[in-house]
Amino acid sequence: MGDIYLQLARAAIAQSVGIHYEVDLDSLLSKYPKLKELGSSFVTITKGKEHSLRGCIGSLEAYRPLYEDIILNARSAALHDPRFQALNDLEYDDIKVEVSILSKPQILNYNDIDDLKKKIRVNIDGVVLKLDTHQATFLPQVWEQLPTFDLFFSHLCQKAGLEKECLKYHPEIFTYQVEKYSE
């Protein structure tokens, strides 16, 4: 299925920058009915030999068919990630696409930061952090760049618009896992 997810994402990105990329969606939906089930995904676009981030957009909750989620997140990652200019057709051949299929986020009950450290599984868990109106997530892949609990969570707190030590306020923590597929 990973090849199908990547094909859908790649086609959506190509079409969004005006490049013809044909996919027989009806045939795929007929052959792979799982694509019609509700699902949530993240699509990550990297560029160049150093694989620098070029866009990443996704859904934490499954609220539409998986194929739609992949297609719409791929388009959004290419054109609407607020951290980057919209991707253009000249960059298309220099990108790599990654699709992550998410499990349903589960609340992680914890007593304090030490308890949270014991319960978080480095390199396995994606994390959603919520505090009041602030929210952010990191996919499990982010552990590769931020390999320690303290680094990971200080950056996640900042991504949510909070101070680096936001764990002292006992935010809600949800965890999820992904099936990751890369070109």
Q: What is the pLDDT of residues 85-127, one digit of tens each?
A: 999 999 999 999 999 999 999 999 999 999 999 999 999 999 9
In degrees, rounded to 5, the angle at the alpha carbon of residue 153 between the alpha carbons of residues 147 and 158 is: 120
**Residues of the domain holding 50:** 2-102
CA 20 to chain CA centroid, nearest Å? 25
User: Is a pLDDT exceeding 90 seen at residue 58?
Assistant: yes
**Angle between helices 66-79 and 2-16 in degrees, nearest 10:** 40
Question: How many other CB atoms are there within 10 angstroms of residue 34's CB atom?
Answer: 12
pLDDT of amino acid 50: 85
- CATH number of the domain within which 131 lies: 3.30.1490.150
Flag whether 158 is in a domain. Answer: yes
The band of 164, judged by pLDDT with boundaries at 50, 70 and 90, is very high
pLDDT of amino acid 51: 86
Token pair recorded at residue 29: 């939906």
Q: If you search the block for the tokens 């079409």, which residue do you land on?
A: 15
Max distance between CA atoms of the chain, in angstroms, equals: 53
pLDDT in tens, 16-40: 999 999 899 999 999 999 999 999 9
- The domain boundary, picked from 102, 121, 137, lies at 102
Flag whether 182 is in a domain. Answer: no
The band of 145, judged by pLDDT with boundaries at 50, 70 and 90, is very high
- The domain boundary, picked from 78, 102, 126, lies at 102
pLDDT of amino acid 131: 97
Q: What is the mean pLDDT of residues 56-65?
A: 96
167: helix, strand or coil: helix
User: Is a pLDDT exceeding 90 seen at residue 49?
Assistant: no
Residue 4 near residue 70, CB atoms below 8 Å: no
Residue 7 near residue 21, CB atoms below 8 Å: no
CA–CA distance, 85 with 150 (Å, rounded to integer) = 31
Token pair recorded at residue 60: 């934490």
